[in-house]
Chain A
């Protein structure tokens, strides 16, 4: 058990280094933020001075090691674009927005996807099943940003029910969460449907009937309890995807989250912020997959960490 955990951590660290190196290498070798920092009217000598001050004249690998060393103790420095703001501060402000969005989207996904999947499995090949299938198929084909735009037009512009940008109130999260959820829901629904179909045919369901257990209890305690096991890993992956893919939705709805921050950083050549964000998203991914594994073990007693 301990050996397994160590092996996983080592692998995660190795992947982290690779990911960081890729992103660092790509951004630093071609972007030149010195010009942006110095300003439009700076003289070439000023730009050179800035470059030296920020260590941008050193070779890329050396800069990578320096940055990595600082990052490992939590020092990410200050933003290039907003020089008084620390990178960590900027991320800390933006993170709650993205987290709220991702959690809300995940909640919608589960609250809609799981019951629909169960319903579809209970009545296979019925009208309900086909409707759910159509919902799933259309969700997977829908460009999320187009769906977001449609939602804005229908609910924001024409009906005026919901705000279309900003996060001044909780209602500003409704449309973005729905837009995000619509893309993740189909796969959840399909997985639950497939898992339930398998489970409902299992012998232990017949045993439950033979014991006289009522339908509701059989469904929840016996069937669903087995069917959600494959869902746990999926949820972790989807959550990570929601975190990393929120760029588009945040830009459409002008939500000041991590995705929007990353988007702005790319535009401004704000490398420290960008690098820190990539690192953070990866760390979240590692934590999520680990949590998913632990949850799987908790849910299915047959799984034991090797």
Chain B
């Protein structure tokens, strides 16, 4: 028994905005972070390494507003760290690091995972078993431990970080692209392409892959968020981005040392991490809902 309910024009528009509120919010916040990060050279008031020893451990303006006291200074509106480096500038540049690593790692894992998945789903048989085995192995690895080991052994430069994170996060790409490739390879347009004599790379790249684009983008956003969290955790443990680069995870590690007397230090980098990951997650969820409703 289905009776459709007719809504008036304005009500429908409001309904649609509310429904995609997450997507809009996520895109907006992410866009803001990206814009500020990209414009950091123009916006940052100080160099990230510049030490203002006179104003060491200066709390941010909001801290004085909330808790009283007169230690904050407008010269450093978000405060300074233990050697007097300006937080505002470091946080801006830190966004670049998170975004860069997140995006690169997601790309690396995306390429690896999608390739494996396409091969497994299209060729099946032994290829499928091999990829399944690889996925099972990957899922059995204690990811954080392995990453720590690799970084401690091979050093913690940015390329190594991206490689490690990317090599440990491809499983969801592989699983999804495998099942989608499996379905697609049975569709008529693929059978037709084969009958026409198209080469295998052509079929995989030009026929099957475009249909996977939408769901894979959704996964890419979520994996990017995971990569950002992963890098932050590694940096926090000291085996991530090398100091003195202004990575947010590193700032949190430094803030931890001062946690008893300057507890405010932990809030800003962590909050930014949280907001960035949140916005990417909401963007990804919103895209996934869009996908689902478009297909209906």
Interface residues of A (CB under 8 A from B): 11, 14-16, 18-19, 22-23, 26-27, 30-31, 137-138, 140-146, 149-150, 152-153, 157-158, 244-245, 247-248, 251-252, 262-263, 266-267, 274, 277-278, 281-282, 285-286
> Residues of A contacting B263 with CB < 8 Å?
153, 157-158
Q: Return the contact of B255 from the options A27, A149, A286 (Cβ within 8 A).
A: A149
> Residues of B contacting A251 with CB < 8 Å?
237
Q: Which residue of B lies closest to A153 (CB)?
A: B263
Whether a CB of chain A sits under 8 angstroms from the CB of B291 is no
Give the distance in Å from the alpha carbon of A230 to the alpha carbon of B7 in the complex.
37
> Residues of B contacting A244 with CB < 8 Å?
142-145
A-B contact pairs, 13 of them (CB 8 A): A16-B140, A19-B137, A22-B137, A23-B146, A26-B149, A27-B153, A137-B281, A138-B274, A157-B259, A244-B144, A266-B239, A267-B152, A281-B145
Apart from A142-B274, A146-B273: 20 A-B pairs, beta carbons within 8 A:
A11-B133, A11-B136, A15-B133, A15-B136, A22-B137, A26-B150, A141-B225, A141-B281, A143-B229, A143-B270, A143-B274, A144-B233, A150-B266, A150-B267, A157-B260, A158-B263, A245-B143, A266-B239, A277-B145, A282-B141
Q: Return the contact of A248 from the options B141, B144, B146 (Cβ within 8 A).
A: B144
Q: Is the CB of B259 within 8 A of A27?
A: no
Interface residues of B in 96-143 (CB under 8 A from A): 133, 136-137, 140-143
Are A26 and B232 also in contact (CB < 8 A) when A137-B282, A146-B273, A278-B145 are? no
Q: Is the CB of B149 within 8 A of A15?
A: no
Measured between C-beta atoms, what is the minimum distance from B175 to chain A in Å?
A: 14
Interface size on B, residues (CB 8 A): 41
Are A145 and B233 also in contact (CB < 8 A) when A245-B144, A274-B149 are? yes
Q: Is the CB of A31 within 8 A of B233?
A: no
Q: Is the CB of B140 within 8 A of A282?
A: yes
Q: Return the contact of A153 from the options B144, B150, B259, B278 (Cβ within 8 A).
A: B259
Q: Is the CB of A141 within 8 A of B142?
A: no
Give the distance in Å from the alpha carbon of A144 to the alpha carbon of B277 in the complex.
12
> Residues of B contacting A18 with CB < 8 Å?
133, 137
Q: Is the CB of B236 within 8 A of A248?
A: yes
> Residues of B contacting A248 with CB < 8 Å?
144, 233, 236-237
Q: Return the contact of B266 from the options A23, A153, A158, A274 (Cβ within 8 A).
A: A153
Q: Is the CB of B154 within 8 A of A143?
A: no
In order of increasing CB-CB distance, the 4 nearest A-B pairs are: A146-B270, A244-B142, A141-B278, A30-B153
Measured between C-beta atoms, what is the minimum distance from B156 to chain A in Å?
A: 12
> Residues of B contacting A26 with CB < 8 Å?
146, 149-150, 153
Give the distance in Å from the alpha carbon of A274 to the alpha carbon of B239 in the complex.
16
Give the distance in Å from the alpha carbon of A134 to the alpha carbon of B266 in the complex.
23
Measured between C-beta atoms, what is the minimum distance from B142 to chain A in Å?
A: 4
Q: How many residue pairs, one in A and one in B, have C-beta atoms under 8 Å apart?
A: 116
Give the distance in Å from the alpha carbon of A149 to the alpha carbon of B260 in the complex.
11
Measured between C-beta atoms, what is the minimum distance from A19 to chain B in Å?
A: 6
Give the distance in Å from the alpha carbon of A252 to the alpha carbon of B252 in the complex.
11
Main secondary structure of the interface of A (DSSP, over half): helix
Interface string of B225-261 (1 = CB under 8 A from A): 1000100110011010000000000001001100110
Interface string of B134-176 (1 = CB under 8 A from A): 0011001111111011101110000000000000000000000
Q: Is the CB of B277 within 8 A of A141?
A: yes
Q: Is the CB of B145 within 8 A of A149?
A: no
Give the distance in Å from the alpha carbon of A180 to the alpha carbon of B207 in the complex.
44
Give the distance in Å from the alpha carbon of A266 to the alpha carbon of B150 in the complex.
10
Q: Return the contact of B273 from the options A15, A22, A143, A245 (Cβ within 8 A).
A: A143
Q: Is the CB of A27 within 8 A of B149?
A: yes
Measured between C-beta atoms, what is the minimum distance from A32 to chain B in Å?
A: 10
> Residues of B contacting A19 with CB < 8 Å?
137, 140-141
Measured between C-beta atoms, what is the minimum distance from B27 to chain A in Å?
A: 15
Measured between C-beta atoms, what is the minimum distance from B140 to chain A in Å?
A: 5
Q: Is the CB of A145 within 8 A of B149?
A: no
> Residues of B contacting A27 with CB < 8 Å?
149, 153
Q: Is the CB of B266 within 8 A of A247?
A: no
Measured between C-beta atoms, what is the minimum distance from A131 to chain B in Å?
A: 15
> Residues of A contacting B277 with CB < 8 Å?
141-143
Q: Return the contact of A15 from the options B22, B140, B266 (Cβ within 8 A).
A: B140
Measured between C-beta atoms, what is the minimum distance from A206 to chain B in Å?
A: 14
Are A266 and B149 also in contact (CB < 8 A) when A22-B141, A157-B259, A248-B236 are? yes
Q: Is the CB of B237 within 8 A of A149?
A: no
Measured between C-beta atoms, what is the minimum distance from A170 to chain B in Å?
A: 23
Q: Is the CB of A138 within 8 A of B278?
A: yes
> Residues of A contacting B269 with CB < 8 Å?
146
Q: Which residue of A lies closest to B132 (CB)?
A: A11
